[in-house]
């Protein structure tokens, strides 16, 4: 902490305790956390979901969310005690001296107002600038954040701007009053790797330029390594350890921290295609598809999936990964081409498929929250496919459900009668897997199954999927934008861009150069655990050649901007 | 200064001081503002005004006490899961449940509770209340109290039947429209629009004068009038559910529409539907009472609150409260149902305010 002297302390939280109200009692969420932030310092807060990262972030503004209360400790912001300050005093700080950047910019902007009008709201409200001055300032900030067309972009509505640009516009908005402290709550979690870089670079740059202190909340270690001077690791509302970024990465002290660092190490041996003439279990042949009246979303997509193998389909959002899955399941009939299952063509619409054809191909969804009916008990969620396809009843059905729960490593007696909302994210995803298994399929589509989960939990799911593949000989189509996941679980990789397959082949071949330029872009955009990774990358590519801009140049073709 | 006035003010001021001492700020503000209001009311209206205030406060306190006790009673007799829900109920909801409970008892056990038959003439026209007739007699000399009790059975029973039918038709159509989509959805939607575009009372009058005023016709006509509203709500609620991944999963499994509706969609839309049921019940109830008032509803001599208001309406000019009693019965039930519905809406949607 040599860089920061004691008198520059901006935010001093001591022994913070926050309680949440549930089941008619107050239960502690944050159990005595200390935090010290100096001017110009960036502190990374990491931990699994439920560790209390966001709660601490909100508390730094003197804010307790609905159903929570600050029950003890002190929060001192620039010499002002926030826990005892009146609501009016605290409100005066927010927006002007402490700003907040939320996870989903798309959900946080008001869709009914132009971006620049939302930007100028705070400076005008606090009488820092006149409206026109604030607009000029906004344009300057947009330029500094390297938003394309900074003079014009503010006059668009939020839906006319892409996700990465919106997140940068939100950062600009947070900067509008030149606050002393900005709280970034997972600002890049919802973005693709290629877009993430431009946001990261812009945030780091602007925080540096204005010497703003920041709290950067994330569960992605590689990201925090790029951004933070200091890292604090949280677990269940308690601090595990805190150290400077370099020390934290090279020499973590606690076991929990070490386990977090080790997460990305899971890797299973790569399997090769069977050579004895086995037919592929699923074969996508020259498929074109489009949604009603729209442009082609898929353009001549072909790939094969062999029994017992995992094929990862990667690409950024909008590249047609999920649409391919919809074509295979029959939700979206293709306009050209066909899908073969075990050599037999499948009817294009799922309504025309036989029960057995439906049984063979199952799906695991990204959001376990919406994939499981919250009002149905676990026993029925898992039991229904077994009952539906195999006609099991009574004790045979119960036995089958128990068997499946055992298979996904959940204790049957404990979970049999529960409802999905009572489970954690990882447990829900396991139930989703069990539901797919209950149909006894040969082939499962995994649509971003780990992207909504914390790294430790996600690794558990990946290991489980791998074990099930070995035991049951399943074939997986693994849709993901996370290349770390691809590296750990895939046998073959299909890279998609703008609805086309740009490259496919065995994993090792894909991860060794030479790549297709787009694959190269994807690969080099994945944050690494090296704190200098982003700096090096920016030097290599040049600041104007990252994110969407990079996509355009490397692609060589015209990529329509989201406007 | 009578003893009553001295006692009145000393009780209020002592209670206010006690509230301050116990640091119950809201209770104190309530009691002391009542004291200040009483000063003004006492000067303007004399002792009788103070007596009225005392009676009103006592009635209010009694209602609150009954609600509180009834809520505790319900919590004690219900399952643990339900008991936890009930604990969140405000006092108003408990009051509503108590009133509904009372009406249900009156309706079910009407022949045993009512001292006389609903069509039985036992006295002269408009006889004043006495020990035999608690609320006096109506224009034909029938016991008003007995008729109120029977009315609970007839009017409420009819409204309940009509609402249930409206819900069965509307909800089923709404769920089917949401699941099927396409032209079926469009057709049902436009059909509902057509029914809703005709003013309900005129539509009811028209239908009743064509088909006659038998009970069955009333129930069906009222149900048809109200089912489009239920249809629209159900379709909107179910529309939010059918886009969920679990519905897609069930469809891909090959499940039929009936399974989707029954097992996947309905459990996720019951809360707003139940709340809507309460609300619609009030409207249906008022429509039926209104029809009776116009003479097209339940036919005499069957006791019915709406027609009781009409038949005794002339008495209002004489300052008699008899016609207001059935009206009050209607109002009380409507308010009670709304109290309960408010609580349910609050629970299901987190609606504030």
The yes-or-no verdict on residue A556 having pLDDT over 50 is no
| ipTM metric | 0.74
Query: In terms of CATH, what superfamily is B106-349?
Result: MetI-like (1.10.3720.10)
Give the confidence band of A558 by pLDDT, cuts at 50, 70, 90: very low
Do residues A412 and A510 both lie within one domain? yes
Contact (CB<8Å) A388/B267: no
pLDDT by residue (tens digit) across A448-497?
888 777 777 888 888 888 888 888 888 999 888 777 788 888 888 898 88
Q: Tell me the C-alpha distance between A358 and A297, whole Å.
A: 24
A34 and A94 fall within a common domain: yes
DSSP A110: -
Mark whether A299 and A228 lie in a shared domain. Answer: no
Residue B167: band (very low, low, confident or very high) from pLDDT cuts 50, 70, 90: very high
For chain A, percent of residues with pLDDT exceeding 90:
1
Q: What's the confidence (pLDDT) of residue A4?
A: 65
Give me the pLDDT at residue B230, please: 93
pLDDT band at B229 (very low <50, low <70, confident <90, very high): very high
Band of residue B192 on the pLDDT scale cut at 50, 70, 90: very high
pLDDT at B69: 92
Q: How confident is the model at residue B353 (pLDDT cuts 50, 70, 90)?
A: very low
pLDDT at B185: 92
Give dist(CA B296, CA B299) in Å, integer: 7
**Domain annotation covers residue A106:** yes
Confidence (pLDDT) at A23: 65
- Please give the average per-residue pLDDT across A540-553, as a whole number: 59
pLDDT recorded at residue B352: 39
A194 with A236, same domain: the answer is: yes
A190 shares a domain with A49: yes
Is A350–B246 a contact, with Cβ atoms under 8 angstroms apart?
no
**What pLDDT shows up at residue B66?**
92
How far, in whole angstroms, is CA A211 from its chain's centroid?
Answer: 28
**Residue in A closest to B85 by C-alpha:** A23
In a domain, A369, yes or no: yes
Least confident of A178-182, A195-199, B5-9: A195-199
Q: How far is CA A165 from CA A319, A543, B228, in A?
A: 18, 15, 45
A80, β-bridge pairs: A77
Number of H helices and E strands in chain B, helices first, is 15, 0
Mean pLDDT value of segment A418-430? 84
Range of the domain at A55: 6-110+181-264
Q: What pLDDT does B98 receive?
A: 93
Number of compact structural domains in chain A = 2
Does residue A274 fall inside a structural domain? no
Identify which has the larger pLDDT, A295 or A398.
A398
**A67-81, B120-134, B330-344, range with the lowest pLDDT:** B120-134
A266 or B260: which carries more pLDDT confidence? B260
The structural domains of chain B, with segments of one domain joined by +, span 3-83, 106-349
Q: Measured between beta carbons, which residues in chain B are less than 8 angstroms from residue A24?
A: 84, 87
Interface check B248 vs A, CB under 8 A = yes
- Domain-located, residue A119: no
Residues A500 and A468 in one domain: yes
3-state secondary structure of B22: coil
B249 to A376: CB separation less than 8 angstroms, yes or no:
no
Kindly tell me if the per-residue pLDDT of B228 is higher than 90: yes
CB atoms A358 and B249 under 8 Å: no
Average pLDDT over residues B191-215: 89
pLDDT at B125: 77
Residues from chain B that touch A375, judged by Cβ atoms under 8 A, are: 267-268
A276 pLDDT tier (thresholds 50, 70, 90): confident
In terms of domains, do A189 and A92 share one? yes
* CA-wise closest residue to A318 among A338, A295, A285: A295
Interface touch B252/A388, C-beta < 8 Å? no
* CATH number, domain with residue A331: 3.40.50.300
Cβ atoms < 10 Å from Cβ of B39: 10
- Is there a contact between B309 and B261 (Cβ–Cβ < 8 Å)? no
Q: Based on the domain organization, do A234 and A297 belong to the same domain?
A: no
Q: What percent of chain A has pLDDT over 70?
A: 93
Residue B351: its pLDDT value, please?
A: 44
Q: What is the mean pLDDT of chain A?
A: 81
Per-residue confidence band for B232, with pLDDT thresholds at 50, 70 and 90: very high
Q: Cα(A132)–Cα(A407) distance, rounded to whole angstroms?
A: 63
CB-based contact A406:A434 (threshold 8 Å): no
Closest among A225, A180, A208 to A39, alpha carbons compared: A180
Residues of A with a Cβ under 8 Å from any B Cβ are 23-24, 329-331, 350, 353, 355, 358, 363, 365, 367, 370-376, 380, 384-385, 388-389, 435, 439
Q: Does residue A271 carry a pLDDT above 80?
A: no
- The whole-chain average pLDDT of chain B stands at 86
């Amino acid at each position: 902490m040599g860089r920061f002297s004691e008198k520059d302390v901006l935010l001093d939280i001591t022994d913070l305790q926050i309680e949440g109200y549930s089941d008619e009692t107050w239960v502690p969420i944050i159990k005595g956390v200390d935090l010290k932030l100096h001017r110009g310092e960036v502190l990374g807060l990491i931990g699994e979901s439920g560790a209390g990262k966001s709660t601490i972030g909100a508390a730094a503004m003197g804010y307790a969310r609905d159903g929570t209360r600050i029950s003890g400790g002190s929060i001192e912001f620039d010499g002002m005690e926030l826990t005892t300050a009146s609501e009016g005093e605290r409100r005066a700080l927010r927006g002007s001296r402490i700003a907040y950047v939320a996870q989903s910019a798309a959900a946080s902007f008001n869709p009914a107002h132009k971006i620049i009008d939302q930007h100028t709201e705070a400076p005008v409200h606090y009488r820092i600038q006149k409206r026109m001055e604030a607009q000029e300032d906004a344009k300057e900030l947009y330029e500094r954040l390297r938003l394309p067309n900074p003079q014009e972009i503010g006059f668009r509505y939020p839906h006319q701007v892409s996700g990465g640009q919106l997140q940068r516009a939100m950062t600009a908005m947070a900067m509008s009053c030149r606050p002393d402290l900005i709280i970034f709550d997972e600002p890049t979690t919802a973005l693709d790797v290629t877009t993430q870089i431009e946001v990261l670079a812009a945030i780091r740059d602007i925080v540096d330029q204005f010497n703003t202190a920041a709290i950067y909340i994330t569960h992605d270690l590689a990201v925090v390594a790029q951004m933070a001077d200091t890292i604090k690791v949280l677990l269940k509302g308690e601090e595990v350890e805190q150290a400077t970024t370099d020390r934290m990465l090279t020499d973590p002290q606690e076991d929990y921290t070490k386990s977090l660092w080790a997460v990305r190490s899971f890797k299973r041996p790569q399997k090769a295609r069977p050579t004895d003439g086995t037919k592929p279990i699923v074969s996508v042949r020259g498929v074109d598809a489009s949604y009603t009246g729209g442009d082609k979303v898929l353009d001549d997509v072909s790939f094969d999936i062999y029994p017992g193998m995992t094929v990862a389909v990667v690409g950024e959002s909008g590249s047609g990964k999920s649409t391919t899955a919809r074509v295979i399941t029959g939700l979206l009939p293709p306009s050209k081409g066909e899908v073969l299952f075990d050599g037999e063509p499948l009817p294009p619409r799922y309504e025309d498929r036989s029960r057995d054809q439906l049984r063979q191909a199952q799906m695991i969804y990204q959001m376990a929250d919406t994939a499981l009916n919250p009002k149905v008990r676990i026993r029925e969620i898992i039991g229904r496919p077994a009952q539906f396809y195999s006609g099991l009843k009574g004790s045979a059905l119960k036995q089958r459900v128990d068997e499946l729960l055992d298979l996904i490593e959940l204790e049957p007696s404990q979970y049999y009668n529960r409802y999905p909302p009572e489970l954690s994210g990882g447990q829900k995803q396991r139930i989703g897997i069990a539901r797919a298994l209950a149909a006894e399929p040969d082939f499962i589509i995994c649509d971003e199954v780990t992207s909504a989960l914390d790294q430790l939990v996600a690794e558990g799911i990946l290991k489980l999927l791998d074990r099930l593949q070995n035991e049951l000989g399943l074939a997986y189509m693994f849709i993901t934008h996370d290349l770390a996941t691809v590296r750990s679980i895939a046998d073959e990789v299909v890279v998609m861009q703008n609805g086309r397959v740009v490259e496919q082949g065995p994993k090792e071949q894909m991860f060794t150069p030479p790549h297709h330029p787009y694959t190269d872009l994807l690969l080099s955009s994945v944050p690494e655990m090296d704190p200098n990774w982003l700096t090096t990358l920016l030097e290599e590519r040049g600041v104007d050649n990252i994110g969407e801009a990079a996509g355009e140049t490397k692609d060589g073709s015209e990529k329509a901007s989201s406007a | 200064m009578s003893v009553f006035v001295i006692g009145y003010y000393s009780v209020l001021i002592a209670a206010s001081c006690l509230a301050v001492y116990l640091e119950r700020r809201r209770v104190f503000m309530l009691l002391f503002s009542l004291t200040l209001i009483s000063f003004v009311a006492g000067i303007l209206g004399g002792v009788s005004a103070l007596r009225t205030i005392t009676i009103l406060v006592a009635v209010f306190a009694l209602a609150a006490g009954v609600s509180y006790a009834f809520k505790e009673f319900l919590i004690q007799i219900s399952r643990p899961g339900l008991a936890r829900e009930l604990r969140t109920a405000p006092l108003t909801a408990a009051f509503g449940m108590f009133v509904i409970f009372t009406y249900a008892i009156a309706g079910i056990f009407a022949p045993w509770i009512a001292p006389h038959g609903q069509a039985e003439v036992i006295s002269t026209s408009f006889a004043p209340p006495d020990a035999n007739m608690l609320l006096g007699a109506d224009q034909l000399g029938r016991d008003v109290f007995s008729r109120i009790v029977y009315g609970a059975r007839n009017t409420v029973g009819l409204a309940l039947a009509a609402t249930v039918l409206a819900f069965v038709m509307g909800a089923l159509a709404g769920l089917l429209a949401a699941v099927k989509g396409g032209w079926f959805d469009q057709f049902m939607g436009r059909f509902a629009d057509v029914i809703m575009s005709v003013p309900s009372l005129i539509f009811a009058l028209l239908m009743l004068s064509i088909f006659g005023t038998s009970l069955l016709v009333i129930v069906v006509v009222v149900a048809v009038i109200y089912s489009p509203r239920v249809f629209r709500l159900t379709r909107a609620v179910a529309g939010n559910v059918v886009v969920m991944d679990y519905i897609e999963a069930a469809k891909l499994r090959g499940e039929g529409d009936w399974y989707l509706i029954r097992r996947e969609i309905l459990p996720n839309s019951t809360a707003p539907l139940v709340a809507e049921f309460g609300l619609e019940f009030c409207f249906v109830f008022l429509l039926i009472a209104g029809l009776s008032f116009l003479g097209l509803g339940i036919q005499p001599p069957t006791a019915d609150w709406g027609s009781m208001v009409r038949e005794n309406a002339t008495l209002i000019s004489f300052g008699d409260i008899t016609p207001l009693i059935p009206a009050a019965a209607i109002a009380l039930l409507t308010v009670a149902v709304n109290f309960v519905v408010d609580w349910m809406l609050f629970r299901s949607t987190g609606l504030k305010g």
